[in-house]
Structure 1
Amino acid sequence: MRVPSRSPGHQPGSAVASAAPARRLPPAAGRRPGPEQPDLAAYRAAVAELLVEVGALADAPSTTARQVLLDQRLREPAIAAVLDATPQGFVGARETLLLEMARYQPNTRSSAQDLTALVRIYLLSRIDVMWWRDSPTFLTDGQVDTSTDLVDLEWLRRRGLLAFRYQEQPATVLGRGLRAVRRRLRPDATPRTAGVRFRRARREVIALLNDVGREFAAAARPGTPPLWVTSLARSAEHQYRLRRLGYAAMVPSGHCLGWAADVELAWYGRFGARDLLADLLLARQEAGELNVVDEGQAWHLCLAPTAQRRFRRAYEAEMGV
């Protein structure tokens, strides 16, 4: 299977600019990156090659050899160009990766099931950070809850304006208990996910998820559940909370900028639709619409800046605003 690709800053600012109807971008085969833009196809290919070498040095005695390998490979032009364009710059991004690897402890909560997955998630998620390096970070939970740049999904869901599903994290002990009972009674009725902590997202991201949801529903076999979203905008405060719990929550993160979301993949294997959804997402990445990161059970998506205007206009057209 193809290897897909997978964010802090200042305080949240004003609403983002407008965007266009939800039509798919033309294939990216003939497009070349602008003079100031890193070549993302070359970056992803170089990362894929690096992951093979990291996998061969994944055992504990190879720590020094891994560091030497990373020192060499991260300096390759295709990789260095992206890392240098992130807010941390090349040195900061490199040091953060080495520190993440030094601290890594596998656990059942983390999407990084081994060191190779950790490196993949970190490096491919740097595309998000590079794209949106000038976007304000949501530092606290309160900023996510009150930002006018974000929309409450529940208001839209109740009006039938969403083409995807989600479930919120239970806020009380009773709620968590009821969730556990439902899972015991119907273990595969919904994905095994904690649910979204914040049910808020940028307008452009909502339009993107609606577009993906409609495409998936049209292509999947009858009876396949709708697209399921497992995470949306988050605060940096919550990102560090997730890290303390053992999750592979990268810092900086596209979630804390409001431009990223996670969608369930593994659960759709029960319906013979996992590969279909994966292919749909990868096709959008190849078209330059998304950055995609394989995180195992769920895949991380980040909207490309070049698609922002189009999806803002799509949101306005769908919602009648």
Structure 2
Amino acid sequence: MRVPSRSPGQRPGPSVTPAARTRRRVPGASPRPAGPDLDAYRAAVADLLVEVGALAGESCDAARQALIDDRLREPAIAAVLEATPQGLVGARETLLLEMARYQPNARSSAADLTALVRIYLLSRVDVMWWRDAPTFLTDAQVDASPDLVDLEWLRRRDLLRFRYTEQPRTLLGRGMRAVSRRLRPAATPRTAGLRFRRARREVVALLNDIAREFAANTPPATPPLWVTSLVRSAEHQHRLRRLGYAAMVPSGHCLGWAVDVELEWFDRFGARETLAELLLSRQRAGEVNVVDEGQAWHLCLAPTAGLRLRQAYEAEMGV
């Protein structure tokens, strides 16, 4: 799959035909700043996950803690964790606490302890990148922020290339959603929907860009990219945690720079692997951080891609 060139003034609509896959450099992106080696970090995390998976039994608690204590001090991992707001010690303590509290449930994207460790450690790249960004603490702050735009306003003007559904707010709405799922169980992804239909302008440009590329490299009958989560308040993040979701703290969602996109549903259209490769290609280019959370994949925009995407948003929206 050849990834299309993306200039700041690109307009909606397919612009390339599928061809051989190539490693690409993102046009208009700033050079990567000096910092931790993220390839080495992800490789070290992958090795750690193999060892965590081998210590899955309840009798292995002490061995798992000793393993975490040892591996998090490895230079490749320690360099990233030390650069987060919590630092290495705080990140270690938070991870051990998450592991001690872990209870598998159908809502959580962490199907087991190994998945929990993967999600936590890989998502630390987000908070390292955006460690100086302010957190949206309350629902009211999300609703009132001038840094966010209303997706519904854009959708009604046909300015979005991706789809989403909102979270029902009333008992009647939840009932109608349940009936719709029973009648057409595979018509849409199985997701609670967006609590906030608001997003940063750069994130809208990123999702439109990914959606166009996805459409250009899949059969015409394939549905558009589907977004399952965007910005969240810290208040809502803790609400999700109480419900059993693997909602990590701190989180790129609460900074407004992270999104979740549906992957599993696209299996029925033979497009899941295409989308997965597309997202990983962007990670290799340094444009996003990617965390495989099973049904949906978590993405966080890299700071170096922000200027290009802000310019792309302004050009596309005619601002």
**TM-score, structure 1 as length reference:** 0.91
Match of 1:174 among 172, 176, 181: 172
1:185 maps to what in 2?
183
CA contact under 8 A between 2:26 and 2:287: conserved in structure 1? Answer: no
CA contact under 8 A between 2:32 and 2:304: conserved in structure 1? Answer: no
1:107 maps to what in 2?
105
CA contact under 8 A between 1:27 and 1:286: conserved in structure 2? Answer: no
Find the aligned partners of 1:25 and 1:149 in 2 and give their Cα distance: 30
Q: The residue matched to 1:116 in structure 2 has which SS?
A: helix
Runs of 4+ aligned residues of structure 1 deviating over 3 Å after TM superposition are: 19-25, 31-35
CA contact under 8 A between 1:20 and 1:309: conserved in structure 2? Answer: no
Find the aligned partners of 1:62 and 1:290 in 2 and give their Cα distance: 35
Offset at residue 22 of structure 1 (A): 6.0
CA contact under 8 A between 1:47 and 1:120: conserved in structure 2? Answer: yes
Offset at residue 32 of structure 1 (A): 9.3
Is 2:289 the counterpart of 1:288? no
Offset at residue 221 of structure 1 (A): 1.1
Is 2:146 the counterpart of 1:141? no
Greater RCO between the two (CA within 8 Å, min separation 6)?
A: 1
**AA of the residue aligned to 1:173:** L
Find the aligned partners of 2:265 and 2:166 in 1 and give their Cα distance: 18
What number of residue pairs does the alignment pair up?
300
Find the aligned partners of 1:312 and 1:22 in 2 and give their Cα distance: 12
Q: The residue matched to 1:165 in structure 2 has which SS?
A: coil
| % identity of equivalent residues | 78
Offset at residue 201 of structure 1 (A): 0.3
Q: 1:240 to 1:82 in 2, by over 3 A?
A: same
Q: The residue matched to 2:226 in structure 1 has which SS?
A: strand
Ranges in structure 1 where 5+ consecutive residues have no aligned partner: 1-18
Find the aligned partners of 2:10 and 2:54 in 1 and give their Cα distance: 43
- Deviations along 1:144-179, one digit per CA (max 9) or x if unpaired, are 000000000000000000000000000100000000
1:40 maps to what in 2?
38
**AA of the residue aligned to 2:208:** N
1:204 maps to what in 2?
202
Find the aligned partners of 1:68 and 1:307 in 2 and give their Cα distance: 38
C-alpha RMSD of matched pairs (Å): 1.8
Ranges in structure 2 where 5+ consecutive residues have no aligned partner: 1-6, 12-22
Is 2:249 the counterpart of 1:256? no
Q: The residue matched to 2:114 in structure 1 has which SS?
A: helix
Find the aligned partners of 1:22 and 1:124 in 2 and give their Cα distance: 31
- Deviations along 1:271-297, one digit per CA (max 9) or x if unpaired, are 000011000000000000000000000
1:163 maps to what in 2?
161
Q: The residue matched to 1:100 in structure 2 has which SS?
A: helix
CA contact under 8 A between 1:128 and 1:302: conserved in structure 2? Answer: yes
1:221 maps to what in 2?
219
Offset at residue 27 of structure 1 (A): 7.1
CA contact under 8 A between 1:33 and 1:39: conserved in structure 2? Answer: no
2:59 maps to what in 1?
61
2:193 maps to what in 1?
195
CA contact under 8 A between 1:22 and 1:310: conserved in structure 2? Answer: no
